[in-house]
Amino acid sequence: MYIRLLIILINLTIISFPSYAEDETTEADREAIEFLKGLKLEELVEVEVTLDNVFNVFDGLIKARKVTIATGKEQTTDRAPSVTTVITAQDIEATGATDLDEVLEMVPGLHVARNRAYNPIYIIRGIYSTFNPQILMLVNGIPINRLYFGNKGAMWAGMPVANIARIEVIRGPGSAVFGANAFAGVINIITKTKKDIEGTEIGTRIGSFNTQDAYILHGGTWAGFDIASSLEYRNTDGHNEIIDIDAQSHFDNQFGTNASLAPGGVNMQKRNLDARLDISKENWQLRSGYQGRRNIGTGAGTGEALDPIGHFTDDRFNADLTYHNSTFTENWDVTAQLSYFQTRYNTNNQTIFPSGAFGGAYPNGMIIDTSISERNNRLDLSGFYTGFKKHTVRLGIGYHYGEMYKIKHYTNTNPTTGFPIQNLMDISNTSYSFIPEGSRKNWHVFLQDVWNLTPNWEWTTGFRYDNYSDFKSTLNPRFALSWQPISKFSTKLMYASAFRAPTFSELYITSNPVHKGNLNLNPETIDTWELAFNYHVRNNLHLATNLFSYKWSDGIRYVPGASKGIFIADNVGIQKAYGLEFEARWKMTKKSSLLANYAFVKASDENNKHDAGNYPQHSAYVRSDWLLMPNWFLDTQINWVSERQRAFGDSRSPVDDYTTVDFTLRRKNIKKGHWNFAVSVRNLFDVDAREPSQGPDSNGVINIPYDLPLAGRHYWLELRYHF
């Protein structure tokens, strides 16, 4: 016990002294010593844990973090042959984030925008598109992008964070490792295992917009197996920010009617259920998960006309079995993985235009209800070989079969005459259905070599070949040269190419009245150069900078077809960009830290010699953490978004800049470490923040001219219990 007391006294001394004045005694030191004197010996274990947690919160910001996403093997972010960011569960807890979208705003150069359904658009380095298929989303290293739009799902409705152990992000291309859609970036969400939970934790949260959250996590051992499980539930009405003018407003002006529901609030309700199970023993790991989304609101409306009635449902199920043996043979580290991912979404009473639309032709509104099921099967085999001197070689092969099936389409517009009808008509499995069923097969092989030229120089080479059943094959290389002349400084020069696969909607849609697919599409491609620097100036200060440029070719755009008003998908887009990202992590004292990043990007639409539009040219994020007193933490976040130009053909003024401020106050380790309480205020100053709405249609009309308003000031209260 006396040894434990000595350790605690040493920790108190280290933590209490500021790093820039370690020979001075502060008032905080004296308070800590008095606090220790008043404790009973049996309480010392609790104090040790508390102070150790305090140290980890701040010190973890400065130390070089480990990442696996860049090469498949754990290495520091400084040496990884990609520009990477790692966000830990401690970061998520400290900032008070409750959803993945809030977490990702921490990443330099990543901005979370919104489309008309208020689904998130993850913009990295100026690469913006409505459905966002240029970002590869992974859960535990397995893709969850869908075939229809190529993204994480048209009805995403958020992802809770209580069961996230960490998030790894590549800013830039990753197709040499991950294949399709690892284009602008890769986001890998890693869920918690038994060692991350160790016991049982329950939590509940209430907040603005009639929001209720509850979750339970458990990590333990049963019959020799390591078990981790989670169950999270969320129900909310969502924010109700006002849309002043919508698409129906313009039709009202044309027909002399008053059918529009604008001004009116956006429809942001949702009810989410997330469940996961992780079972592992020795070299085997079985994981499964379910994400149920119910009563998902339509945002600003599917047709950009307010729709308070329609809603979506979405079900996602995943399972994977992984075998990993790091000592398969003397020189081989082998992994085999079989995975399955199934989804189904459908719309319910989706009202494209409200009651009385088109001069009263639709007394109950124009309704289109659809549903799509998808399933994806994957088998991946890979291994690291270390039998060559100074080389670590990785080989891999894999197969993917994806299928889109059980497509349903109902409408109250007669597809033959184009006139309204009273009841919904089932036009599934006809030539009028919005898209036919289909499948895609893909096999790939990749090779990667990490060559340690000298103790200070490292050369990484990688190639991946993908062969698809519905478009041509692709070969994507990457090269990276890393130099670390001294232990505190490193630099990397990198080149990589990547591709984005054409989506099923771009290939196969035939009955849409405006947009048509094209069976002859090629994948989008991007070539990127990056130069990155990492400098650990002192033990309490880390600086990182990277410069980049890219050329995005064969961008899939909709161009005028042979018939008036019809637009056909085609590989015509070209975008070029350059920019920089800067990050600083500073442990100001043992009780405070500061994280700041700034990003600049200039992207141009080469077809029209115009700014690419809709992305922030400048963005910055600042986060500070303070230990106010033993076990009381205050986290402040400032998010600045600036200079968002409009895309070509959109004559509106640039989107207004905004700066939001969030506060989270947390009391930890209540009642011997079991309880944890927090209160958070988001958008503290009630800033009118907006994301760009869609530009003019083929008739030059901008349906929602004043953009998409984000939530104003709101709050939540949280209580956690761990045992």
pLDDT-based confidence at residue 67 (cuts at 50, 70, 90): confident
Mean pLDDT on 254-274: 96
CA–CA separation, 639 and 467 (whole Å): 42
Cβ-contact 530, 174 below 8 angstroms? no
Cβ-contact 154, 136 below 8 angstroms? no
Q: Which of 520-529, 587-596, 680-689 has the lowest mean pLDDT?
A: 587-596
Q: How many CA atoms lie within 13 A of 286 on its CB side?
A: 5
Q: To the nearest 10°, the Cα dihedral for 566, 569, 575, 580?
A: 110
CA–CA separation, 710 and 686 (whole Å): 10
Q: How many CA atoms lie within 13 A of 368 on its CB side?
A: 14
CA–CA separation, 268 and 277 (whole Å): 29
CATH tag, 2-722:
2.40.170.20
pTM: 0.91
Residues whose CB is less than 8 angstroms from the CB of residue 531 and which lie 6 or more positions away in sequence, other chains included: 491, 492, 493, 494, 546, 547, 548
Cβ-contact 36, 46 below 8 angstroms? no
Query: What tens digit of pLDDT does each residue of 175-232 get?
Result: 999 999 999 999 999 999 999 999 999 999 999 999 999 999 999 999 999 999 999 9
Both structure tokens of 273: 């259920």
Q: To the nearest 10°, the Cα dihedral for 457, 393, 397, 469?
A: 40
Q: To the nearest 10°, the Cα dihedral for 580, 585, 588, 589?
A: 180
pLDDT exceeds 80 at position 3: no
pLDDT-based confidence at residue 28 (cuts at 50, 70, 90): very low
pLDDT exceeds 60 at position 700: yes
Q: Where are the domains of the chain?
A: 2-722
The predicted structure's pLDDT at residue 50:
34
CA–CA separation, 281 and 224 (whole Å): 7
Amino acid (1-letter code) at residue 414: N
Q: At what angle do helices 27-37 and 2-16 cross, to 10 degrees?
A: 160
